[in-house]
Amino acid sequence: MEDLAEKTGISLQKLEEAKKKNKLQLIEWSIPYYRFKEKVEHIEKGTVAFITSKGLELVRGFPKIPRALVISTGFKKNFEKAFAEEKMDGYNVRTVMIEGKIISLTRGGLVCEYTTSRIKKTINEKFFKDYPELMLCGEVVGMQNPYQEKSYPEARDFGYFIFDIRNRTTNKPLKHSEKIRMLEEYGLKGVRVFGEFNNGKDILNLVRKIGAEGREGVVLKTEEGKMLKYTANQSTNKDLQYAFTFYNDYGLAFMYRRLVREAFQAYELGLEGEELEKEASALGKSILIPMVETIRKIARGEEVTEDFEIEVPDEETGMHFVENLKHLGVIATIREVRKSGNSVIMKISRHYPSTNDRTKAFLEGASWSD
């Protein structure tokens, strides 16, 4: 812990307190590591410190990106001009090289062997040999995605799209132009860059357009790395549809924030009359229909689960992934394991006991406490 205090600049006393409160964990793995489960002073949630033969090697957590609710004024307040990059709908992954091994970390700071095994096949390891102090920050998308299933035409099953390259110790990002140059030099896939903009109105039009194509939104960035995100209402509706399927397992804050986003974007678009009615109807369907379908399914005696597949090199890698889910408080069951060429396909069900149990209780006559 003394080494961790020196490496992070956090006092030993603060680290001990964080460990007692379970904000800091020691994870036993082939390379053991400290995981910051929550933010501690200036160190971001998801930060990891690997215990290596050379001492502690720090990998900082990806910082939170502020969100604009009204993009016309949000742009003006934050930028004179900014690049618009696509915000893809998947899960955030940092990839590093530690003791000669490619390692992929989830946003929360867990080594994911499943993600690592897939990403290793898609990236040029020479990048890390040339720049061992850097980390790739990207979004994993596709249907073989255990955290957030979303298929894209360019990545139906699995894709890793890089949106940032940062120093893993200081968390300082490379300049936008330098990042683009490196992606091209090492043949790494990056998120789409829509170009440079100087006003929020054009961003609003862009986001509505890509939202209609089923895409999430944009992240605005300056050359030096200042960031602001803005998403489409269509994406918000999909989030709500998912959340209300498992309505009692997702907090009210999750749903409330998304409803507020919908309202501000409708206002900024100047929606009135039939247009506003249409938007409200889509929002209502996103909330009511999945809840009714959940109730009907449980009334038939079935369990409401989230089912997905992962492709791993071997069963051990898949089992490690399921262990990671337990660290996240997720209850999961392996339904099927089958060989497919040189890989193993695992079908997994994620359980939502709160939604299932409470719905069943209501159907059996339990009272609702307002």
Residue listed under structure tokens 């596709």: 142
**Predicted TM-score of the model (pTM):** 0.89
The yes-or-no verdict on residue 57 having pLDDT over 80 is yes
pLDDT over 90 for what percent of the chain?
Answer: 75
pLDDT tens profile 203-226: 999 999 999 998 999 999 999 999
Mean pLDDT over all residues of the chain? 92
The yes-or-no verdict on residue 176 having pLDDT over 90 is yes
Residue 142 DSSP class: B
Strand ranges inside the chain, DSSP E: 24-27, 33-36, 48-52, 55-59, 82-87, 91-98, 101-106, 134-141, 159-167, 193-197, 217-221, 227-231, 305-312, 331-340, 343-351
Domains of the chain: 2-59 (3.10.450.740), 63-84+196-230 (3.30.1490), 234-299 (1.20.58.2250), 305-363 (3.30.70.2160)
> Do the beta carbons of residue 145 and residue 309 sit within 8 Å?
no
Q: What is residue 148's predicted lDDT score, i.e. its pLDDT?
A: 64
The pLDDT confidence band at residue 45, using thresholds 50, 70 and 90, is very high
pLDDT over 70 for what percent of the chain?
Answer: 98
What is the torsional sign of CA 163, 168, 171, 172?
negative
The pLDDT confidence band at residue 129, using thresholds 50, 70 and 90, is very high
The pLDDT confidence band at residue 154, using thresholds 50, 70 and 90, is confident
**Which residues are bridge partners to 58 per DSSP?**
49
The yes-or-no verdict on residue 358 having pLDDT over 80 is yes
User: In degrees, to the nearest 5, what angle opens at C-alpha 48 toward C-alphas 45 and 49?
Assistant: 140
> Do the beta carbons of residue 234 and residue 211 sit within 8 Å?
yes
The pLDDT confidence band at residue 149, using thresholds 50, 70 and 90, is low
